[in-house]
Amino acid sequence: MYIIIGGGGEIGYYLTKSLLKQGHEVLLLEKGALRFKGLVEELGQAVVRGDACEARTMEEVGASRADVVIAVTGEDEDNLVICQMAKQHFNVGRTIARLNNPKHELIFQKLGIDITVSPTRSILSLIEAELPGTTFVSLMTLKRAGLEIIEMRVPVDSPIVGKTLGTINLPRTGNLALIIRGTDYIFPTADTKILADDEVYALVSREGEEALRTALGTSL
């Protein structure tokens, strides 16, 4: 595959090295003169000095034959434009953007960026998963459908402890898929009774997450 990477920071550097090792054709674009000098010593011809937002630069490095363009600069607006220009101007099939502000996920998705990666969000969810007493963890995002798979532990003081699912007013924007109780698994029905410390796995939409947290008493 021919992969163009915009932004020669630490992420761009290690990404280029790893992808080269895997045998891909990789080109890293870095616009800063000083940083470029450092990179070129190690990566040689795989680095070109230039701005991945500039159509002329992208043309020189053959963007129209790139299979993937990855934007990993420290500015979200630059990453957005790199990906949109690659798609619209050079018909690149797949674009991947780094998100510095996790709140920008929605707009990137709406604007057609294929994949977004947010280090801030990843680290946050790891911390959430590790913290004792944490009851709500996002396991996976299904981008196209706008759904999330979440795991939560029902707190002892949750208002739904001891109630059956049929009697609880759960949001329509979510679906409880599985309950793990000790070592047993339960596929929930309307008659399933919720107990404290049940581990619940659910599919929820963005709007549904907060509603479900509220229903289970795990609201932040």
Out of 56, 130, 133, 157, point to the residue binding another protein (CB under 8 A): 56
| Stretch near another protein under the rule CB under 8 A, chosen from 9-17, 24-32, 104-112, 151-159 | 104-112
Q: C-beta of 80: minimal distance to another protein in Å?
A: 5
The bridge status of strand 25-30 relative to strand 47-49 is parallel
Q: Provide the mask over 108-147, with x wherever binding to another protein is found by CB under 8 A and - wherever it is not.
A: --xx------------------------------------
Q: Is 84 in the site for another protein (CB under 8 A)?
A: yes
β-pair partners for 6: 29, 71
Q: C-beta of 212: minimal distance to another protein in Å?
A: 23
β-pair partners for 115: 96
The bridge status of strand 2-6 relative to strand 184-186 is unpaired
The bridge status of strand 94-98 relative to strand 147-153 is unpaired
| Residue nearer to another protein on the CB measure, 1 or 106 | 106
Q: Rounded to an integer, what distance in angstroms lies between the CA atom of residue 70 and that of residue 206?
A: 26
Out of 14, 37, 67, 106, point to the residue binding another protein (CB under 8 A): 106
Q: Are 155 and 134 in contact (CB under 8 A)?
A: no
User: From the CB of residue 79, how many other CB atoms can be counted at a distance below 10 Å?
Assistant: 28
Segments in the chain forming alpha helices (H): 10-21, 33-43, 55-60, 76-90, 105-110, 119-130, 206-216
Q: Is 68 in the site for another protein (CB under 8 A)?
A: no
Q: Is 179 in the site for another protein (CB under 8 A)?
A: no
List residues near another protein by CB under 8 A: 53-56, 58-59, 63-64, 75-78, 80-81, 84-85, 88-90, 101, 103-104, 106-107, 110-111
